[in-house]
Structure 1
Amino acid sequence: MTVLPAVPFPAVVPGDPRPDAPALTARGPFPVGVLTLTVQHPDQLDVVAALAQPTLPDPLPRSERRLTVEVWYPARLADGQLEQIHYADRVVPAPGQPATPLEWLGRAVRDAAPEPQGGPHPLVLVSHGYPGSRYLLSYLCENLASKGYVVAAIDHTDSTYADLAAFASTLLNRPLDDQVVLDRLDALSAPGSGSPLSGLLDTSRTALIGYSMGGYGALNFAGAGFAPQTLAFVPGGALAGRLSGAYTVDPRLKAIVTFAPWGGPSAVRGLGVPAAEFGVWDAEGLAGVRVPCLFIAGDQDDVSGYRDGVRALFERAVHSERRMVVYRNARHNVAPNPPPPAADTLAPYMHYAEPAWDARRLNDLNCHFVTAFLNAQLKGETEALTYLDAPDGPGELKGFPARTSLGIELHRRPAR
């Protein structure tokens, strides 16, 4: 076990709350450990290799798909261990431009001893945007782990800053990646697995958090089957297994959180093929979601769209008990870490920044609202949902210091 030296660390790192943070933003009682896993998914359709051929091969080639997964968990620290960590990442500002190395700082300990007390802990899967990485929401992953969750963030192959490839791979593989990682973590949690995660997590209480393309995958994973038109988006009819009625939702999934989920009509329009009524979905597909949902979006989202995008998806998931948090005047970047110092030119900076909102403020709000939702859905603390209720008439939102809940809308729809 490596013990970090007591060296100076920045006063503020991603995830540290502002003084005006709402009640559930603060970290929980557990120190946080983090480890890295590799998950193999054998014999998968390889649409990147297929599209690289002069003519589309039939059948499509298959290969092993490898995923890197970062797991944050409640930990037990040795004397002298400090919750200080560096996450190395990079961003490509635009196609053909060189990558900009980035470094995220955090408050966790690499390969720390797991804390079994209070466990086994619920599992939260995290799925990044396109492009993105498993570190994109590290502030939220650390925060939830400190509150008694095991949090697993996936590097989706062909969809990260490091290996961005054909978009068709992302469209096909998001829900499939979520499934194989859930299955792998379930195996590692079993007694006698030999993994540090043995006995630490309870996959029967699983939630999935998805941002942008991760939200697209989360909705499909939760039962929003794609409309038949989507078969044109990926070669060889490869999406057939994710159409409405073609698959069964994993019963271990108890809730999803979707930040700015991609897939509405305005988002799909650029793919150049006919879209369904609600982008990749139709009304029947969205009605297939039956687990509770939390949508989080900006009402000026110009990537996923708001009125015909996130808001329409929220309204049409009619069989889900669902809630929505709206940040007024925010665009698409409502979920990520703040821009790191190395993102000091416009293109990489705007990959993370929100023009009308302070990123630390959004991080605080996300930690607060996601904690309330997951505590209710995965831990049975149903009173936590009152933090997601709008006041009757003018007034402050519950859990907010006086005069600090400006610019936030809360919406609720019952399951039909």
Structure 2
Amino acid sequence: MSPIRLGLISTIGLLLICWALPYLIPVPSLEAPSGNNPVGTVMYHWIDTSRLEQTPGETNKYREMNVQIWYPVQLKGSMRQAPYIPELTGLSHYAKQRWHIPSFFLNYIRLAKTYTYMEADIASNQSQYPVVIFSHGWPGSRYAYHYLVTDLASKGYVVAVVEHTYGTLATVFPDGRIMSQKAPSEFQLPAWDSIIDNVWAEDDRFVLDQLEKLNRGIMDKRFTQRLNLEETAIAGHSFGGDAALATLRKDKRFKVGISLDGSFYGSIQSPIAADQSFLWMCTDNYLNDLGLPKPSDKQLSEEGIQRAVYKGWVDGFHRRRDQAVSEGGQILQLKGVKHSSFSDLFLYSPFLQWKAKAPDPKQSHRLILKYVELYLDQHLKGQPPEGRFEEKSQKDSRVLLNP
């Protein structure tokens, strides 16, 4: 092939790529919060000196994590818009070095409008605000639920999202260190149980301890006596939803737990208390199969796991779900919604939405928000004026299973 022809083909190929990129990876169009309050956000890096880091092969002495809080604010003066991903530069460099992903594949996210403000003063229209602690999925990120956390904050909640170190594709600490995910084999279900029981649930409990300090004016005066820690919920998506249930069982300071399409990882410990409420909001696929891996005989053999042993593990997960319901938990099935619809993922590319055969992500977000907020309003703020959670669910023909 002549150099001229090769150059022409290369030029045409480059033009096609440039034409297609805005359609395949458009700037995410994030939803504006629907509540009456503007939303602020602040980040913290916390170290739990009471716990050693348990992740194999890691040298960090104590467990440390990033936590980002979204909360209602009052607008005054000039306020700086918060970036969607504050540490995007570090993540772009890391992605380029580790996975050879060109920086522009991530840098375009800088153009996303977040509708949030950095480190603004908390609103004064209420003396205190109920609290929600949220855990992302595996391997997720704290910023990938923007629609959920900002909408809750705009409606009078303080939402703290835990970034579970080694459970993300990459976590960037303030000093520039980057921690990538460290995962056991997907078929070693007891190993994943251990992460929920001994790491993620303890992360969530530690964050509540830190919020109690913030409420006393320790570390930061911003939230002094503004957090209503008598009205606190723990929620999460996927693996983070499993952490939410495990945390609810462990720590009776939490009044409400919500699992968004979790699989019930985490061994059963203390029962859900009579004054605690739990909701499992699930998709069609997770309702019966719980989203658990389905290995072939060859895959189990390579792991040294007998089929009967694996079946016993899976049966245990179904018993955990049934026990949660028997203890007063509720199940709400959202028909048509996909597992990743609970996050911002399908806003990143229409190709991802098409591949998953998912409905319009913003439509799914509105549906999810409706029931999350109804449930929280009912159990943390008292019965909402528009009707009980159960009544609204039945009216909209959603599948609600009561114990």
**Could you tell me the TM-score, scaled by structure 2's length?**
0.70
The C-alpha deviation readout for 1:262-302, integer Å capped at 9, x for no partner, is: 336xxxxxxxxxxxxxxx546xx484465211211111137
Which residue identity lines up with residue 119 of structure 1 in the other structure? S
Match of 1:411 in 2: 401
1:69–1:153 CA contact under 8 A, matched in 2: yes
The residue type paired with residue 383 of structure 2 is: E
The answer to whether the 8 Å contact 2:201/2:247 transfers is: yes
Q: Does 1:203 align with 2:229?
A: yes
2:337–2:364 Cα contact (<8 Å) kept: no
Q: Secondary structure of 1:44's partner? A: strand
Question: What is the CA RMSD across the aligned residues, in angstroms?
Answer: 3.5
Change (3 A) 1:382 1:113: closer
Distance 1:154 1:368 in 2: 23
Distance across 1 between alignment mates of 2:141 and 2:155: 23
- 5 Å-filtered alignment, 1:105-124, equals 105-124=113-132
Structure 1 residue aligned with 2:291: 304
Q: What is the CA–CA distance in structure 1 between the aligned matches of 2:130 and 2:207, rounded to whole Å?
A: 15
Per-residue deviation at 1:327? 2.1
Matched, 1:218 2:244: yes
Q: Do the aligned partners of residues 328 and 411 (structure 1) sit closer, same or farther apart at CA in structure 2, a change above 3 Å counting? A: same
Whole-Å Cα distance in 1 between the matches of residues 34 and 85 of structure 2?
19
Partners of 1:329 and 1:80 lie apart in 2 by 43
Counterpart of 1:158 (choices 166, 169, 173) is: 166
CA contact (8 A) 2:30 2:114 kept: yes
Match of 1:31 among 23, 29, 38: 38
Q: Shift of the alpha carbon at 1:383?
A: 5.2
* Alignment counterpart, residue 214 of structure 2, candidates 158, 168, 188: 188
**1:128 matches 2:136:** yes
Matched residues in 2 for 1:295 and 1:63: separation?
A: 35
Please give the alpha-carbon distance, in whole angstroms, between the structure 2 residues aligned to 1:355 and 1:47.
38
More helix by share: 2
Map 1:89-104 onto structure 2 (within 5 A).
97-98=99-100, 101=106, 103=109
The CA deviation at 1:44 is: 2.2
Moved more, 365-374 or 298-307: 298-307
Query: Hey, what's the Cα distance between the residues in 1 that align with 2:383 and 2:389?
Result: 12
Q: Which has the larger radius of gyration?
A: 2
* Aligned partner of residue 374 in structure 1, secondary structure: helix
Q: Which structure dedicates a bigger proportion of its chain to strand?
A: 1
Distance 1:199 1:362, change over 3 A: same
Which stretches in structure 2 are left out of the alignment for 5+ residues? 1-25, 171-179, 185-190, 294-313
Secondary structure class of the residue paired with 2:61: strand
Q: Distance in 1 between matches of 2:122 and 2:272?
A: 37
Match of 1:46 among 27, 43, 53: 53
1:140 and 2:168 matched: no
1:366 Cα deviation after fit: 1.3
CA distance in structure 1 between the partners assigned to 2:100 and 2:73 by the alignment: 38
- Following superposition, the deviation at residue 381 of structure 1 comes to 2.5
Q: For residues 139 and 387 of structure 2, what CA distance do their matches in structure 1 show?
A: 32
> What is the Cα deviation at residue 214 of structure 1?
0.7
- The Cα shift of 1:199 comes to 2.0
Shift of 1:321: 3.3
5+ unaligned residues in a row in structure 1: which ranges? 1-9, 17-25, 54-60, 224-248, 265-279, 398-404
Give 2:259's aligned residue.
Answer: 258
- Structure 1 pair 288–386 and aligned structure 2 pair: CA distance change class (3 A): closer
Q: Quote the sequence identity (%).
A: 24
Q: Secondary structure at the match of 1:14?
A: coil
Match of 1:173 in 2: 199
Residue type of the partner of 2:44? L
Query: 2:264 touches 2:321 (CA, 8 Å); kept in 1?
Result: no
Aligned pairs (5 A) from 1:8-27: 13-16=29-32, 27=34
Structure 1 residue 340: Cα displacement: 4.2
* Conservation of the 8 A alpha-carbon contact between 1:39 and 1:67: yes
Q: 1:273 corresponds to which residue?
A: none
Q: Is the 8 A contact 1:33 1:111 kept in 2?
A: yes
Equivalent pairs, count: 325
Helix, strand or coil for the counterpart of 2:166?
coil
Equivalent residue number for residue 11 of structure 2: none
2:342 is aligned to: 335
Cα distance in 1 between the residues matched to 2:133 and 2:384: 21
Contact kept, 8 Å, 2:216 with 2:224, in 1: the verdict is: yes
- Structure-1-length-normalised TM-score: 0.68
**Cα separation, partners in 2 of 1:170 and 1:369, compared to 1, 3 Å:** same
Going from structure 1 to structure 2, the CA distance change for 1:192 and 1:330 (only over 3 Å counts) comes to closer
